[in-house]
Copies of this chain bind each other. A is one copy, B any other.
Amino acid sequence: MTAMQLGLIGLGKMGGNMRERIRRAGHTVIGYDRDPDRADVSSLAELVDKLEGPRVVWVMVPAGGPTQSVIDELAGLLAPGDTVVDGGNSRWTDDEKHAEELAAQGIGFVDAGVSGGVWGLENGYALMVGGDAEHIAKVQPIFDALKPEGDAGFVHAGKVGAGHFSKMVHNGIEYAMMQAYAEGWELLETVGSVTDVREVFRSWQAGTVIRSWLLDLAVNALDEDEHLERLRGYADDSGEGRWTVEAAIDNAVPLPAITASLFARFASRQDDSPQMKMVAALRNQFGGHAVESAE
Protein backbone atom coordinates (compact mmCIF):
# COMPACT_ATOMS: atom_id res chain seq x y z
CA MET A 1 0.00 0.00 0.00
CA THR A 2 1.13 3.49 -0.78
CA ALA A 3 0.18 6.02 1.84
CA MET A 4 -1.59 9.00 0.35
CA GLN A 5 -3.18 12.29 1.38
CA LEU A 6 -6.90 12.94 1.47
CA GLY A 7 -8.86 16.11 2.02
CA LEU A 8 -12.10 15.26 3.82
CA ILE A 9 -14.91 17.78 4.05
CA GLY A 10 -17.63 17.05 6.62
CA LEU A 11 -16.64 15.42 9.90
CA GLY A 12 -20.01 14.49 11.34
CA LYS A 13 -21.03 11.05 12.55
CA MET A 14 -20.05 9.38 9.27
CA GLY A 15 -17.18 11.61 8.20
CA GLY A 16 -15.49 11.57 11.58
CA ASN A 17 -15.44 7.79 11.74
CA MET A 18 -14.24 7.54 8.17
CA ARG A 19 -11.32 9.88 8.93
CA GLU A 20 -10.38 7.59 11.78
CA ARG A 21 -10.54 4.42 9.67
CA ILE A 22 -8.50 5.98 6.87
CA ARG A 23 -5.85 7.18 9.32
CA ARG A 24 -5.65 3.73 10.89
CA ALA A 25 -4.78 2.45 7.43
CA GLY A 26 -1.79 4.77 7.36
CA HIS A 27 -3.03 7.57 5.15
CA THR A 28 -2.96 11.27 5.94
CA VAL A 29 -6.33 12.96 6.29
CA ILE A 30 -6.76 16.71 6.38
CA GLY A 31 -10.30 17.31 7.56
CA TYR A 32 -12.52 20.33 7.32
CA ASP A 33 -15.81 20.93 9.08
CA ARG A 34 -17.84 24.04 9.82
CA ASP A 35 -17.43 23.10 13.45
CA PRO A 36 -13.83 24.20 14.24
CA ASP A 37 -13.58 21.68 17.09
CA ARG A 38 -13.66 18.85 14.59
CA ALA A 39 -11.63 20.45 11.82
CA ASP A 40 -7.91 20.24 11.03
CA VAL A 41 -8.03 23.38 8.92
CA SER A 42 -10.12 26.49 9.08
CA SER A 43 -11.28 26.77 5.47
CA LEU A 44 -11.58 24.88 2.22
CA ALA A 45 -8.87 27.12 0.81
CA GLU A 46 -6.51 26.07 3.57
CA LEU A 47 -7.41 22.44 3.05
CA VAL A 48 -6.66 22.64 -0.65
CA ASP A 49 -3.48 24.54 0.05
CA LYS A 50 -2.18 21.88 2.44
CA LEU A 51 -2.71 18.97 0.04
CA GLU A 52 0.00 18.03 -2.43
CA GLY A 53 -1.15 17.67 -5.99
CA PRO A 54 -2.71 15.82 -7.63
CA ARG A 55 -5.22 16.24 -4.83
CA VAL A 56 -8.10 13.98 -3.82
CA VAL A 57 -10.90 15.69 -1.89
CA TRP A 58 -13.77 13.71 -0.40
CA VAL A 59 -17.04 15.60 0.21
CA MET A 60 -19.17 14.15 3.02
CA VAL A 61 -21.84 16.77 3.63
CA PRO A 62 -25.65 16.69 3.36
CA ALA A 63 -27.12 16.21 -0.10
CA GLY A 64 -28.56 19.11 -2.03
CA GLY A 65 -27.55 22.67 -1.19
CA PRO A 66 -24.63 21.92 1.13
CA THR A 67 -23.00 19.53 -1.35
CA GLN A 68 -23.61 21.92 -4.22
CA SER A 69 -21.94 24.84 -2.48
CA VAL A 70 -18.91 22.78 -1.48
CA ILE A 71 -18.53 21.59 -5.07
CA ASP A 72 -18.91 25.12 -6.37
CA GLU A 73 -16.19 26.30 -4.02
CA LEU A 74 -13.88 23.39 -4.87
CA ALA A 75 -14.32 24.08 -8.58
CA GLY A 76 -12.69 27.43 -7.93
CA LEU A 77 -9.94 26.16 -5.67
CA LEU A 78 -8.70 22.91 -7.18
CA ALA A 79 -6.40 22.44 -10.14
CA PRO A 80 -6.58 20.31 -13.28
CA GLY A 81 -5.76 16.71 -12.44
CA ASP A 82 -7.31 16.89 -8.98
CA THR A 83 -10.26 14.62 -8.09
CA VAL A 84 -13.42 15.20 -6.07
CA VAL A 85 -15.37 12.35 -4.50
CA ASP A 86 -18.96 12.94 -3.42
CA GLY A 87 -19.49 10.37 -0.69
CA GLY A 88 -22.69 11.90 0.64
CA ASN A 89 -26.23 10.82 -0.06
CA SER A 90 -26.65 12.94 -3.18
CA ARG A 91 -29.41 12.14 -5.61
CA TRP A 92 -27.83 10.33 -8.51
CA THR A 93 -29.34 12.78 -10.98
CA ASP A 94 -27.13 15.51 -9.48
CA ASP A 95 -23.91 13.66 -10.20
CA GLU A 96 -23.66 14.32 -13.93
CA LYS A 97 -24.12 18.04 -13.28
CA HIS A 98 -21.38 18.05 -10.69
CA ALA A 99 -19.09 16.04 -12.93
CA GLU A 100 -19.54 18.50 -15.78
CA GLU A 101 -19.00 21.53 -13.56
CA LEU A 102 -15.72 20.08 -12.32
CA ALA A 103 -14.64 18.70 -15.69
CA ALA A 104 -14.82 22.24 -17.04
CA GLN A 105 -11.88 22.97 -14.70
CA GLY A 106 -10.08 19.74 -15.57
CA ILE A 107 -11.08 18.21 -12.24
CA GLY A 108 -12.23 14.60 -12.01
CA PHE A 109 -15.36 13.47 -10.23
CA VAL A 110 -16.35 10.21 -8.57
CA ASP A 111 -19.68 9.55 -6.84
CA ALA A 112 -19.50 7.11 -3.98
CA GLY A 113 -22.44 5.54 -2.20
CA VAL A 114 -21.31 4.61 1.32
CA SER A 115 -23.07 2.11 3.56
CA GLY A 116 -22.14 0.99 7.03
CA GLY A 117 -23.49 3.50 9.49
CA VAL A 118 -22.05 3.60 12.95
CA TRP A 119 -20.55 0.15 12.47
CA GLY A 120 -18.36 1.18 9.56
CA LEU A 121 -15.41 2.27 11.67
CA GLU A 122 -14.87 -1.29 12.88
CA ASN A 123 -16.43 -3.38 10.09
CA GLY A 124 -15.54 -1.24 7.11
CA TYR A 125 -17.77 0.71 4.77
CA ALA A 126 -19.38 -0.76 1.69
CA LEU A 127 -18.63 1.42 -1.30
CA MET A 128 -20.46 1.70 -4.62
CA VAL A 129 -18.69 4.11 -6.93
CA GLY A 130 -19.41 5.67 -10.29
CA GLY A 131 -17.14 7.54 -12.68
CA ASP A 132 -14.21 7.09 -15.01
CA ALA A 133 -11.72 4.37 -14.19
CA GLU A 134 -8.84 6.86 -14.22
CA HIS A 135 -10.46 9.01 -11.57
CA ILE A 136 -11.41 6.05 -9.44
CA ALA A 137 -7.83 4.73 -9.63
CA LYS A 138 -6.58 7.89 -7.93
CA VAL A 139 -8.89 7.28 -4.96
CA GLN A 140 -8.44 3.52 -4.81
CA PRO A 141 -6.08 3.45 -1.81
CA ILE A 142 -8.70 5.33 0.19
CA PHE A 143 -11.46 3.02 -0.99
CA ASP A 144 -9.29 0.09 0.04
CA ALA A 145 -8.83 1.59 3.49
CA LEU A 146 -12.53 2.19 3.97
CA LYS A 147 -13.94 -1.05 2.64
CA PRO A 148 -14.38 -4.20 4.73
CA GLU A 149 -11.81 -6.96 4.51
CA GLY A 150 -12.41 -9.59 1.85
CA ASP A 151 -13.60 -9.46 -1.70
CA ALA A 152 -16.98 -7.85 -1.26
CA GLY A 153 -17.79 -4.33 -0.17
CA PHE A 154 -16.52 -2.38 -3.17
CA VAL A 155 -17.81 -2.05 -6.71
CA HIS A 156 -17.16 0.24 -9.64
CA ALA A 157 -20.81 0.29 -10.62
CA GLY A 158 -20.61 2.27 -13.85
CA LYS A 159 -20.23 5.77 -15.13
CA VAL A 160 -20.88 8.92 -13.11
CA GLY A 161 -24.09 8.52 -11.08
CA ALA A 162 -23.98 4.73 -10.92
CA GLY A 163 -22.51 4.78 -7.43
CA HIS A 164 -25.25 6.87 -5.92
CA PHE A 165 -27.86 5.02 -7.96
CA SER A 166 -26.67 1.70 -6.53
CA LYS A 167 -26.67 3.10 -3.00
CA MET A 168 -30.16 4.49 -3.53
CA VAL A 169 -31.46 1.07 -4.59
CA HIS A 170 -29.60 -0.47 -1.65
CA ASN A 171 -31.55 1.81 0.64
CA GLY A 172 -34.83 1.00 -1.06
CA ILE A 173 -34.17 -2.69 -0.44
CA GLU A 174 -33.21 -1.83 3.13
CA TYR A 175 -36.58 -0.15 3.68
CA ALA A 176 -38.49 -3.25 2.63
CA MET A 177 -36.27 -5.61 4.62
CA MET A 178 -36.76 -3.54 7.75
CA GLN A 179 -40.48 -3.46 7.09
CA ALA A 180 -40.49 -7.24 6.63
CA TYR A 181 -38.98 -7.89 10.05
CA ALA A 182 -41.16 -5.20 11.59
CA GLU A 183 -44.38 -6.68 10.22
CA GLY A 184 -43.41 -10.15 11.39
CA TRP A 185 -42.50 -8.84 14.81
CA GLU A 186 -45.79 -7.01 15.22
CA LEU A 187 -47.73 -10.11 14.22
CA LEU A 188 -45.86 -12.25 16.74
CA GLU A 189 -46.31 -9.67 19.48
CA THR A 190 -50.00 -9.25 18.71
CA VAL A 191 -51.21 -12.80 18.38
CA GLY A 192 -49.68 -14.01 21.56
CA SER A 193 -49.30 -17.67 20.71
CA VAL A 194 -45.56 -17.21 21.05
CA THR A 195 -44.39 -16.83 24.64
CA ASP A 196 -41.15 -15.02 24.02
CA VAL A 197 -40.93 -13.20 20.73
CA ARG A 198 -37.40 -12.01 21.39
CA GLU A 199 -36.16 -15.57 21.71
CA VAL A 200 -37.82 -16.48 18.43
CA PHE A 201 -35.98 -13.61 16.75
CA ARG A 202 -32.75 -14.70 18.40
CA SER A 203 -33.21 -18.28 17.21
CA TRP A 204 -33.60 -17.08 13.63
CA GLN A 205 -30.00 -15.87 13.59
CA ALA A 206 -28.73 -19.28 12.52
CA GLY A 207 -29.94 -21.79 9.98
CA THR A 208 -32.96 -19.83 8.75
CA VAL A 209 -33.61 -18.36 5.34
CA ILE A 210 -34.04 -14.91 6.89
CA ARG A 211 -30.79 -14.62 8.80
CA SER A 212 -29.11 -11.31 8.12
CA TRP A 213 -27.24 -8.45 9.67
CA LEU A 214 -30.47 -6.52 10.12
CA LEU A 215 -31.86 -9.47 12.05
CA ASP A 216 -28.83 -9.35 14.33
CA LEU A 217 -29.54 -5.68 14.91
CA ALA A 218 -33.18 -6.44 15.66
CA VAL A 219 -32.04 -8.86 18.37
CA ASN A 220 -29.74 -6.17 19.76
CA ALA A 221 -32.64 -3.77 19.87
CA LEU A 222 -34.89 -6.29 21.63
CA ASP A 223 -32.15 -7.03 24.13
CA GLU A 224 -32.12 -3.34 25.01
CA ASP A 225 -35.92 -3.00 25.19
CA GLU A 226 -37.76 -6.28 24.88
CA HIS A 227 -41.09 -4.90 23.69
CA LEU A 228 -39.70 -1.61 22.33
CA GLU A 229 -41.87 0.15 24.87
CA ARG A 230 -39.50 3.05 25.17
CA LEU A 231 -39.88 3.98 21.50
CA ARG A 232 -42.58 5.68 19.53
CA GLY A 233 -43.54 4.11 16.21
CA TYR A 234 -42.16 7.03 14.28
CA ALA A 235 -39.74 6.56 11.39
CA ASP A 236 -38.03 9.26 9.40
CA ASP A 237 -36.80 8.84 5.86
CA SER A 238 -33.70 10.37 4.38
CA GLY A 239 -34.74 10.75 0.75
CA GLU A 240 -33.26 7.69 -0.87
CA GLY A 241 -36.40 5.62 -0.46
CA ARG A 242 -38.39 8.37 -2.16
CA TRP A 243 -35.91 8.60 -5.02
CA THR A 244 -36.01 4.84 -5.46
CA VAL A 245 -39.76 4.90 -5.93
CA GLU A 246 -39.55 7.90 -8.23
CA ALA A 247 -36.91 6.17 -10.37
CA ALA A 248 -39.19 3.14 -10.55
CA ILE A 249 -42.15 5.25 -11.60
CA ASP A 250 -40.08 6.98 -14.27
CA ASN A 251 -39.18 3.56 -15.63
CA ALA A 252 -42.57 1.87 -15.17
CA VAL A 253 -41.14 -0.66 -12.73
CA PRO A 254 -43.60 -1.86 -10.07
CA LEU A 255 -42.11 -1.68 -6.56
CA PRO A 256 -44.96 -2.69 -4.29
CA ALA A 257 -43.04 -3.81 -1.21
CA ILE A 258 -40.52 -0.97 -1.19
CA THR A 259 -43.27 1.60 -1.72
CA ALA A 260 -45.43 0.09 1.01
CA SER A 261 -42.45 0.48 3.33
CA LEU A 262 -42.01 4.11 2.39
CA PHE A 263 -45.69 4.86 2.89
CA ALA A 264 -45.65 3.14 6.29
CA ARG A 265 -43.00 5.64 7.35
CA PHE A 266 -45.01 8.56 6.06
CA ALA A 267 -48.05 7.36 7.98
CA SER A 268 -45.99 6.85 11.12
CA ARG A 269 -45.27 10.56 11.23
CA GLN A 270 -48.88 11.72 11.07
CA ASP A 271 -50.52 12.60 14.35
CA ASP A 272 -53.85 11.92 12.74
CA SER A 273 -54.59 10.65 9.25
CA PRO A 274 -56.51 13.05 7.01
CA GLN A 275 -57.42 10.26 4.61
CA MET A 276 -58.88 8.18 7.39
CA LYS A 277 -60.96 11.14 8.48
CA MET A 278 -62.50 11.06 5.03
CA VAL A 279 -63.09 7.31 5.23
CA ALA A 280 -64.73 7.77 8.62
CA ALA A 281 -66.84 10.63 7.27
CA LEU A 282 -68.03 8.53 4.32
CA ARG A 283 -68.91 5.57 6.53
CA ASN A 284 -70.93 7.91 8.67
CA GLN A 285 -72.66 9.44 5.65
CA PHE A 286 -73.92 6.24 4.11
CA GLY A 287 -74.25 3.96 7.07
CA GLY A 288 -74.65 6.21 10.05
CA HIS A 289 -71.57 4.48 11.47
CA ALA A 290 -70.27 6.13 14.57
CA VAL A 291 -67.21 8.31 14.24
CA GLU A 292 -64.63 9.31 16.81
CA SER A 293 -64.32 12.97 17.48
CA ALA A 294 -61.00 14.68 17.05
CA GLU A 295 -60.80 15.62 20.68
Contacts and interface: CB of A to CB of B under 8 A. Distances in A.
Interface of A: 13, 92, 115-120, 123-128, 130, 147-159, 161-162, 165-166, 169-191, 193-196, 199-200, 202-215, 217-218, 220-221, 225, 228-237, 242, 244-270, 272-294
A257 to B, nearest CB: 4
Contacts of A242: 249-250
A232 B294 contact: yes
A180 B187 contact: no
Contacts of A290: 236
The copy count of this chain in the complex is 4
Nearest to A225: B281
A196 to B, nearest CB: 7
Given A267-B254, A275-B183, A213 B209 contact: yes
A183 B209 CA distance: 18
B281 A228 contact: yes
A169 B155 contact: no
A162 B208 contact: no
B247 A217 contact: no
A88 to B, nearest CB: 14
* Chain A interface main SS type: helix
A210 B246 CA distance: 21
Contacts of A262: 249
Given A170-B210, A187-B251, A246-B246, A203 B152 contact: yes
Given A210-B173, A282-B178, A187 B253 contact: yes
A235 B276 contact: yes
B220 A285 contact: yes
B230 A176 contact: no
Contacts of A200: 128, 155, 157, 166
B170 A281 contact: no
Given A179-B279, A286-B119, A172 B193 contact: no
A189 B206 CA distance: 31
22 contacts: A115-B209, A126-B208, A130-B193, A151-B206, A159-B195, A162-B193, A165-B194, A172-B187, A174-B209, A177-B177, A177-B212, A180-B257, A182-B279, A190-B253, A208-B213, A230-B293, A231-B280, A231-B291, A233-B272, A246-B246, A256-B256, A257-B261
Nearest to A115: B208
Nearest to A205: B152
